[in-house]
Structure 1
Amino acid sequence: MSANISPTSTAHNNIRSWLFRDMKPFPRWPVTLLLAVCTSVAIGTSSYLMWAHVTASPIAGCGGGGGWVDCEGVANSRWSLWFGVPVSLLALGIYLVLAAALAIAASERFSRRVRKTGWTIVTAAVFAAGMSAVWFIAIQFLLLQHICLYCMLAHACGLIAAATMVVAGPLRPKSARVIAAVSVAGLMILVGGQMLTRPPATFQIETFDVPAGEAGMEELDTFEMTPPGQADQSDEGVEDGFFEAPTAGFITMPSMLFFGVVDAGSVQAQPPPQRIAVIQGGAAKLKVADWPHIGPSDAKFVVVELFDYNCPPCRETFETIRGARSELGGQVAIVLLPVPLNADCNPSIKETGPRYVDSCNLSKLAVAMWRLDQDKFSSLHNWMLGGDQPPSYAEALAKANTMVDPDALKAELASGVPDQFIARHVALYRRVGEGSIPKLMFPRTSVVGKYTSVKGLIDLIRREGG
């Protein structure tokens, strides 16, 4: 009596026989060891990235603030998900399958037929890992222009493993090409899923429970403002990370900083309105009139923004702010504090990305323009953020020289005062937690990241900016 053999079983046997036909000798131990090392490293990095995603923990030792090395920027991008599933989980799954298949393929305890199956699975897994690595490396370099060191380490392992199997794998070329074609199909599914995945939110809203008016001011030390075009001759030092000089004074109290700049050389008959901008529940306070701003210094509503002229999310948020200002008119003032994402003037940035090379100079130029002519500052600020691409420093300087006296601008830039302002902006950036920009800050609320809803911002300003 003959056994019944299903067509499906027959097809599986035929495919397996075709793949195994003329299989080359199994790789020697150095190949197996190299694959094991690559797999172990990739499992470790993928596990850590998965843990960071699940726990919403910062990724250790990997830049930040939008620099070239910025794991947070990569991990929070749309390309970190596949239909809502973290790609680190997919990578972890591939490498765990690879590890199990490699353990079977390399062990002499199993039959040759089982080991052949193991090596076939190893080949498929490393090809999938290698092709995915090419895709994600291209995404980081070409689209995000940020790299994640942990991701790059895992991708390097995938590429090394794939190259190893091409050179020393046991499958014959025809079989390897079939496995590669299946891996390409899998990659297309990955890419398609990422294209169809809804991008994650580009911003987060932080709230602060400390009432803004609880902490009063005991004393405020004021200093004479260095007039535009004159170098500061003060020998004041640095305390608690904040520059204290004749251009600015501050007083430190528990959980509160007061930033103030007093212009003693002003030609105005009346002192400027003392509208105070409070942020993070009273953790910091700024006199609107004493800092670069657009809009009336005594406006009903105030927003404090930390940004970089070269930061793409900042440029998109600028359009939202412009729309909100058009609606609110003179009711709102925007305190504009450029924070360069450049290690030359911002200690929080460990490595300067290529797009931020001019950030320090552009920020100082903006402050210098504000010091010389606040109306012209508004025009220059809008011009620098309003185009499709940020201007180079040479272009911005040429533009500024057509708006004010070039000699006065040169003297102001050489005075060192714009540098002091930028140092204070950076100090405030560090005090409020560093991380992503732009930051739109109100007394009880901060919006961190790209914000593109004009109506949402108007509602937020009316609700939180008073």
Structure 2
Amino acid sequence: MLVASSIALVTSSYLAWASLTSTSVAGCGGDLFDCSNVLHSRWSSVMSVPVSIPAILSHLTILSMLFWEPRTERSNTIRWSVIGLVAFSIAAAGLWFMGLQFFWLQHLCPYCLAAHTAGLVVLGAYLMSGQTTRGLAKPWLATAAVAGMAGFIGLQMTNEEPITYEVIDYSQDDVSDEGMIDFEAPAGGAELFEAPTVSIVTPEPSPNLEIQLPTAQQWSALALSFAHPMSMLATEITVGSETADESDSVAENQGEEAEKAPVSNTVRLLKNVKLETASWPLIGKPDAELVFVELFDYTCPHCQRTHRSLEAARKHFGDRLAVISLPVPLDRDCNPTVRSTSSSHAEACELAKLAVAVWMTDREQFEPFHSYLFESKPSYNQAYAKARTMVDADKLESTMRSSGPSEYIAKHVTLYQRAGSGTIPKILFPETTVAGAVESSQSFINLIERNLR
């Protein structure tokens, strides 16, 4: 108990110092082991005090009780009652904070885990010490500890969501229409960003070998022509009339198809870049009033939390809001800005290409598949199997074999580089870029209202 409490005291003291001085935690940086994310979350403090401070006080209490040598039985009862109460409390706190890291934040702080584990060891040592009968009964101590922890959590719930993103403002730069750049999607024709032509191989339909036999009317006309040759002229006039009618019908169908062609809207971002909503993966309607661009990775925890707040914002704005959703994998296989690929992003390229392929195959299914990838967090094999149930499987396979998805991802990465690369997700508005997780739905709503007036 003495050793475990001492270890927890040292690690908690270091974390308190790092929090109070805003110092980076040594040896703690990466996608999974990210102490900065843990120590700057809303759960890292209570009433503006770092939670490591109450931890320090708790372990100091246990150590002082262990070194205290009471002379009366009553004092000894008090001693072990205090040790038991604090031991149950720090164990309950340890379970709470480890659960937050594993299941909510999805980032781990090794120092925090060491302190919480030491707290659990303290409780185990207390329960096996043989001194539990000298204090209050264990059920009473456990109940008091749980009640105290519930109050502690309640105080934490009142904490405001910390600002976890940076807003980069371009509004001071003058931009004219002459300086605007059309950031075109991969397609045929001239490409400002030298995107190759996208060619999607679609399965060729089987030739129609059905033999059309003459109709009864045609047999009658043929027989009549032998008896009365002048009847051929009437037949030609009739056929010509039918051909004209068919031409008119084709023209009408073409007109209807033109009317059904997808409408589009132009979005401006990064001072002088324009995108057409109909040319890129889109969540919402292409002619929506409010449109911005999101750069993200399906395997990024920050992006997953931002997706939750964005969904709430979309419900708030309804059909007025649309999002050009461009996956930017944090995987060196398709993103040269990444120096080394973390194991958590090992399938990021494949998932991003699959999402684009679903959009290229059936745009109506992109939104539900996009949500599925964020909410279910599937492996690539699971995601591919799901995609085959949502769109035409043969067309999807043909699209995946084509260069189209890879070329779209390359264009996304190019736009990501123009936005400064670095942190994702990135929200690109006309005059500003928001870099980092937006975890509060109200904060997202406020950003949209402020930047898409």
Classify the TM-score, shorter chain: 0.5 to 0.7
Structure 1 equivalent of residue 193 of structure 2: 222
Q: How does 1:210-289 map to 2 (within 5 A)?
A: 210-211=170-171, 213-214=173-174, 222-229=193-200, 275=266, 277-279=268-270, 285=273, 287-288=275-276
After superposition, residues 119-130 of structure 1 pair within 5 angstroms as: 120=80, 125-130=86-91
Identity score, percent: 31
Match of 2:61 among 72, 79, 97: 97
Indicate whether 1:208 and 2:168 are aligned: yes
The match for 2:376 is: 390
Contact kept? 1:76, 1:200, Cα under 8 Å:
no
Deviations 1:375-397 (A, max 9, x none): x3353223541799437455654
The aligned counterpart of 1:192 is 151
* Structure 2 counterpart of 1:147: 108
Pick from 273, 283, 295 the counterpart of residue 306 of structure 1: 295
Q: Report the Cα distance in structure 2 between the residues aligned to 1:345 and 1:62, rounded to whole angstroms.
A: 27
- The answer to whether the 8 Å contact 1:46/1:154 transfers is yes
2:211 aligns with: none
> Do residues 319 (structure 1) and 311 (structure 2) align?
yes
Separation of aligned partners in 2, 1:426 and 1:176: 64
SS at match of 1:161: helix
Give yes or no for contact 2:328–2:409 (8 Å, CA) kept in 1.
Answer: yes
Query: For the Cα contact (< 8 Å) 2:298–2:373, is it kept in 1?
Result: no
Counterpart amino acid of residue 131 in structure 2: R
- 1:426-447 deviation line (CA, Å, top 9, x unaligned): 6838945426x5x433222527
Is residue 432 of structure 2 the alignment partner of residue 444 of structure 1?
A: yes
Find the counterpart in structure 2 of residue 249 from structure 1. Answer: none
Deviation at 1:174, TM superposition (A): 0.6
> What is the Cα deviation at residue 155 of structure 1?
1.1
Change (3 A) 1:277 1:419: same
3-state DSSP of counterpart to 1:449? coil
- Asked if the contact 1:91–1:129 (Cα under 8 Å) also holds between the matched residues in 2, the reply is yes
- Residues 223-259 of structure 1, C-alpha deviations (whole Å, 9 max, x = no match): 14241447xxxxxxxxxxxxxxxxxxxxxxxxxxxxx
Normalized per residue, the structure richer in helix is 2
Residue of structure 1 aligned with 2:11, choices 23, 45, 66: 45
> Do the aligned partners of 1:293 and 1:335 also contact (CA within 8 Å) in 2?
yes
* Matched ranges for 1:414-429 at <5 A: 414-415=401-402, 418-419=405-406, 421-422=408-409, 425=412, 428=416
> Is contact 1:309–1:362 with CA below 8 Å preserved after alignment?
yes
1:399-418 mapped onto 2 (5 Å cutoff): 400-401=387-388, 405-415=392-402, 418=405
1:136–1:457 distance in 2 versus 1, CA, 3 Å:
closer
Which residue of the partner structure matches residue 293 of structure 1?
282
**Shift, 1:367, TM fit:** 1.5
Equivalent in the alignment of 1:381: 367
**Deviation string, structure 1 residues 129-185 (Cα, Å, up to 9, x no partner):** 334323433444455554332211111222233333444x4x634125647843641
- Rounded to whole Å, the distance in 2 between the matches of 1:191 and 1:342 is 41
2:241 counterpart residue number: none
Return the match for 1:160 from 113, 121, 140.
121
Report the CA distance shift for 1:463/1:139 in structure 2 as closer, same or farther (over 3 A).
closer
Question: Contact 1:78 / 1:198 at 8 angstroms: preserved in 2?
Answer: no
| Number of positions where the alignment pairs a residue of Structure 1 with one of Structure 2 | 367
Please tell me the residue identity of whatever aligns with 1:185: A
How far off is 1:199 after superposition? 5.0
Question: Contact 1:294–1:378 (CA<8 Å) still a contact in 2?
Answer: no
Q: Could you say which structure has the larger radius of gyration?
A: 2
Residue 293 of structure 1: how far off its partner (Å): 3.3
Change in CA separation of 1:274 and 1:128 when aligned onto 2, cut-off 3 Å: closer
Pick from 338, 347, 358: which aligns with 2:327? 338
Distance (Å, rounded) in 2 between the aligned partners of 1:275 and 1:451 = 28
Take 2:395 and 2:95, find their aligned partners in 1: how far apart are those partners?
A: 52
Task: Give the SS at the match of 1:174.
Answer: helix
Matched, 1:434 2:400: no
Q: Is the 8 A contact 2:89 2:148 kept in 1?
A: no
CA 1:226–1:385 in 2, change beyond 3 Å: closer, same or farther?
same
Unaligned runs of 5+ in 2: 183-190, 202-262
The DSSP-based 3-state class of the residue aligned with 1:208 is strand
1:173-224 Cα deviation digits (max 9, x unpaired) = 4125647843641342122331353253275563334446458699996314
Q: Which residue of 1 aligns with 2:224?
A: none
- Give, in whole Å, the separation in 1 of the partners of 2:10 and 2:332: 30
Deviates more, 1:158-167 or 1:115-124: 115-124
User: Aligned-pair distance for 1:336?
Assistant: 0.8
Q: 1:316 to 1:195 in 2, by over 3 A?
A: same
